[in-house]
């Protein structure tokens, strides 16, 4: 059995760390993300993530009564600087929320680059994902307004402005990727449907095999790997700091420990 949420004897300390920055696409696919990372990078693995629905790279956000600090301003950075040095890789994704929040593309990309600069000293490889422009360009004005109203009800952004800003963000992220030697990944148009920003469930594994830096030579223990399908409990994990309907919540990290020594920390 996998020991979840309780202190458990570790078979081995993780020798690799996967750092993940993102928003709703990560949250929706999190069990798949964890499984794919474990398979691609090898376990035991230390997962360290700053994620959350509607998460911003530079703004504190409130979504359905839940408050989270910005990715750039959350506790993940202090934790990474204080933890032991091990082989680390990172993925930076879900950059588009800040466009809908009215953030200028240049400032948004500046926030992303700050994260890159903080990750560079500790990561051997960093993947940066583009916005799904091909999917966004298929939107009509009516569908855009419907989806904007459902996902970001306070936003008054129009379709033309959204496309213009998304194109500018992708152009500037390409410059960042070249400047810092990052792997830039373009989402496939086929991964998206009526909802142009959230990957379809049936493409979760395919997408994350592209998004996660792979070692390529790691033998997979399939017995342990398939135990990770019990990861439904991760959806109930509490990050280091948040507020729910005004109530402050704090939790020491990691919030999950697995019997192979792998851990999961949320910020």
**pLDDT of 7 above 60:** no
pLDDT in tens, 111-164: 999 999 999 999 999 999 999 999 999 888 888 888 788 778 777 888 888 899
Bridge partners of residue 241, in order along the sequence: 250
CB 67 within 8 A of CB 248: no
The residue that leads in pLDDT, 1 or 56, is 56
Alpha-carbon torsion 31, 33, 39, 42, what sign? negative
pLDDT at 215: 60
Mean pLDDT, range 69-77, rounded to an integer: 95
Q: Which of 57, 55, 53, 35 is nearest to 264 (CA)?
A: 35
Q: What is the mean pLDDT of residues 59-87?
A: 91
Confidence of residue 10 (pLDDT cuts 50, 70, 90): very low
Strands 256-257 and 125-129: unpaired
Report the distance separating Cα 54 and Cα 257, nearest Å.
26
Q: What is the mean pLDDT of residues 178-183?
A: 97
Arithmetic mean of pLDDT, 23-41: 91
Amino acid 191: pLDDT? 97
Q: What is the dihedral of CA 69, 160, 25, 171, to 10 degrees?
A: -80
Residue 146 CB neighbours (<10 A) = 13
Q: What is the pLDDT of residue 219?
A: 47
Question: Predicted confidence band at 63 (pLDDT cuts at 50, 70, 90)?
Answer: confident
Banded model confidence at residue 11, pLDDT cuts 50, 70, 90: low
More reliable by pLDDT, 36 or 153: 36
For β-strands 263-266 and 241-244, DSSP reports them as: unpaired
CATH of 21-266, one of 3.90.198.10, 3.40.50.1110, 1.10.579.10, 3.30.465.10: 3.40.50.1110
| Annotated domain spans of the chain | 21-266
Q: In whole angstroms, what is the distance from residue 239 CA to residue 267 CA? A: 5
Lowest mean pLDDT among 55-59, 122-126, 163-167, 215-219: 215-219
Query: Distance between CA atoms of 1 and 182, rounded to whole angstroms?
Result: 38
């Amino acid at each position: 059995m996998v020991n979840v949420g309780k202190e458990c004897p570790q078979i081995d300390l993780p020798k690799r760390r996967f750092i993940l920055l993102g928003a709703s696409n990560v949250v929706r696919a999190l069990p798949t993300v964890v499984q794919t990372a474990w398979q691609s990078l090898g376990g035991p693995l230390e997962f360290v993530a700053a994620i959350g629905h509607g998460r911003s790279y530079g703004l504190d956000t409130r979504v359905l009564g839940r408050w989270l600090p910005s990715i750039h301003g959350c506790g993940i950075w202090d934790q990474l600087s204080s933890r032991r040095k091990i082989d680390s890789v990172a993925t930076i994704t879900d950059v588009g929320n800040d466009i809908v929040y009215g953030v200028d593309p240049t400032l948004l990309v500046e926030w992303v680059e700050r994260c890159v600069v903080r990750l560079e000293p500790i990561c051997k490889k960093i993947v940066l994902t583009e916005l799904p422009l091909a999917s966004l360009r298929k939107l009509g004005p009516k569908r855009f307004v419907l989806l904007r109203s459902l996902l970001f009800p306070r936003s008054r952004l129009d379709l033309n402005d959204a496309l213009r800003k998304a194109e500018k963000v992708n152009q500037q992220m390409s410059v960042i990727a070249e400047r810092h030697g990052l792997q830039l990944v373009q989402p496939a148009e086929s991964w998206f449907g009526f909802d142009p920003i959230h990957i379809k469930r049936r493409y979760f594994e395919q997408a994350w095999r592209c998004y996660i830096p792979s070692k390529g030579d790691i033998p997979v223990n399939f017995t342990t790997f398939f135990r990770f399908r019990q990861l439904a409990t991760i959806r109930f994990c509490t990050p280091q700091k948040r507020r729910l309907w005004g109530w402050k919540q704090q939790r020491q990290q990691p919030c999950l420990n697995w019997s192979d020594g792998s851990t999961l920390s949320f910020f």
